[in-house]
Structure 1
């Protein structure tokens, strides 16, 4: 007898391959040519466009939309990539509803913004799918730069440095480049191995060598990098996962949400990915939502996302919260985990309700759970790092750290919010500052 979504325990194959294929289809399918023209025609092409100000990478949004409207998506892609070399992935995962589209004039007037994200995807896909790389390297400077971390910040920095003519070596602890884009994004947001294809496309600039399986503190040392390279850019992300601090956290069925998402993204056959019947996700950010939604899509019967503060304090956007609810995820707020219950394997988890100041109310609730995912934030890992501030590498506006010759950006640094598009901007800007320093 085949498994069903209602059988007990953590197991694979809760849904048929057909159902899984449908569940994990593209969240926002690419526009066809006609759809793109219609969507572009809604833009007012504002002179002082608020959408540009809201974009962390400063893309000239009215220009690229006008280029789409005039039937030149290749030119639109060039406009996007000039500022954001990972514009294809950002078009898929950026919270545009809280950035460019939120301030769109049509959003203010009609509650219906121009679909900037999908238009950006349409344009960038034209070049990436064609394998066309619109940038050339400058003449070699003879300078060598190490980039540690092959995620959005590291890749953006590497590409800009290569454009300036520097020789770049990118190191990453994992077996594959891509970082968050490859391992940390929900599968339905990046289908058909797009993250991997985007990395391959980016590397067409030349001058970039990628070495995987090399982690800072193990195979790499700060002293060695400083000795071997003219400059170093750290983009190591946040590798550690915060613990709940509860007894029994090592019980079977208590797992890290980031590992679950990474394993799912790398799975060749979704029908072999195991999931529980009753799943509880603890956290209120994008990782928590991605884990909860995908648990439901894999066939879990009951999925609850529990956050210790109110919905208005969740890091996940209102769109992501609504997406979770639409997939059948129950969102419980103002509740903190108190106890993991079960002999060897988790079977229940107890929460205590809190007020808006996180003070316990004395009221508790138990949720049945054969699988619990922790998504309560990540921490920086590494040895001999530059000066830290608030648990991250302290940087100035240009990405410079407390150590001369070392820059940092992305989630590991104090620069900005933890968004892919922000990481790209930080990597790009640090690369320009590195180039200026090496050219002085």
Structure 2
């Protein structure tokens, strides 16, 4: 029986294994010792450093860069990890160009900012290469905490709780921990299986029991966790995906971009991954960029990223938009999808032109156009997937107050499943801060 995917033009082996390996090399190669010293020398070590204010985890950036300048990258790494235990991953995937580096006083028309992200990677990699975990646990408290979701928020929360001496059970619905760090980030941003290595390193503190393949609402309920543990943290991310309800969206070779990225991230041989000849990605965020660029890296001849509003409204930063363009991705704006056509398999996608009015409202012009596409990847956002009628939801996310407190007694939440920016570094900050609040309740309440 013929595989319709391959018959339609979606097939593996568009490029040689060597070419694909070259395409998926490290996006930002690590700094050597001399390079790090030169980069550190550019820092002014501002007293009221705007880069610190711009960092969601409030890392003391001038301090760690001065420590690198002084030849102590291990101390620099510890300064970073004190605030952000996933500092290694954040150094690789954070949009530093819109956070700390954008705030850098050297970031002018005449100068580039200090390479804070690459310096952070240099420092954290130094610490992680050591033989011992840099933190030790406090004396056991006898308290037990359940952390649901082993993504950035859950990992940060679990580590901080374990450091305070609590016993933590960390649950995740997938087979591997890491959340989007493991399944949802472009492979060229986290090479050499870094996400898994970082989790193993983090768990080295001890006191954290990991259970994977267990989903909230199926294996257990929040009420059961409340009964079995002294406190609960929910960091399940956004496990569901938005579907536009387009005619033809169930055709073969039309799929969610997050599934495409996850499949690529877990592939042992990227050359064996099928990819279309003509790929269209619908969306304008980071997921859309990651999917589009990687489709091109796998050998797609043409890749278009189509977004319903203008470039200034895209979720992807200007840096990421430029990165996509430099990799041969065509970016089309002010176009909304209206339907996908084909016989069994995807063959074409149709869009209608849009306009944004003075009030920000999006309207369609009635003008339509179509693009040939043997593969369509939908990157139009994710949504909360949680089976619990008891926890309060507001605007599609878990409602929290203060450091992640929910409406349920002894239940906190953080990360993408709660309001705020859907960034790794923000999730880490929320998991860390919730853990500190939980610790206060557990020891003083």
1:386 to 363, 372, 391: 391
SS of residue matched to 1:141: coil
In structure 1, what is the Cα distance between the partners aligned to 2:130 and 2:266? Answer: 24
Structure 2: runs of 5+ lacking an equivalent: 1-6
Match for residue 196 of structure 1?
196
SS of residue matched to 1:108: coil
Match for residue 108 of structure 1?
108
2:422 aligned with 1:433: no
Match for residue 136 of structure 1?
136
1:403 to 405, 408, 422: 408
Number of residue pairs matched by the alignment = 433
Q: Does the 8 Å CA contact 2:8/2:345 hold for their aligned counterparts? A: no
Output the TM-score relative to the length of structure 2.
0.96
| Pairwise CA distance, 1:109 | 6.5
Match for residue 4 of structure 1?
none
Match for residue 299 of structure 2?
299
**Greater CA deviation, 139-148 or 121-130?**
121-130
In structure 1, what is the Cα distance between the partners aligned to 2:301 and 2:185? Answer: 23
| Pairwise CA distance, 1:383 | 1.3
| Pairwise CA distance, 1:245 | 1.2
Aligned CA RMSD, in angstroms, stands at 1.0
In structure 2, what is the Cα distance between the partners aligned to 1:305 and 1:111? Answer: 31
Deviations 1:384-409 (A, max 9, x none): 15101100000012100011110000
Output the TM-score relative to the length of structure 1.
0.97
| Pairwise CA distance, 1:212 | 0.1
Deviations 1:142-162 (A, max 9, x none): 000000000000000000000
In structure 2, what is the Cα distance between the partners aligned to 1:129 and 1:216? Answer: 35
1:371 to 375, 378, 382: 375
Equivalent residue runs for 1:26-41 within 5 Å: 26-41=26-41
Match for residue 413 of structure 1?
418
Q: Does the 8 Å CA contact 1:8/1:277 hold for their aligned counterparts? A: no
In structure 2, what is the Cα distance between the partners aligned to 1:106 and 1:234? Answer: 39
SS of residue matched to 1:305: strand
Equivalent residue runs for 1:245-256 within 5 Å: 245-256=245-256
2:365 to 355, 361, 367: 361
SS of residue matched to 2:106: helix
Q: Does the 8 Å CA contact 2:249/2:339 hold for their aligned counterparts? A: no
Structure 1: runs of 5+ lacking an equivalent: 1-6
In structure 1, what is the Cα distance between the partners aligned to 2:228 and 2:418? Answer: 23
SS of residue matched to 2:349: strand
SS of residue matched to 1:168: strand
In structure 2, what is the Cα distance between the partners aligned to 1:301 and 1:160? Answer: 47
2:89 aligned with 1:58: no
In structure 1, what is the Cα distance between the partners aligned to 2:402 and 2:32? Answer: 40
In structure 1, what is the Cα distance between the partners aligned to 2:166 and 2:236? Answer: 21
Q: Does the 8 Å CA contact 1:85/1:156 hold for their aligned counterparts? A: yes
Misfit runs of 4+, over 2 Å: 108-111, 129-132
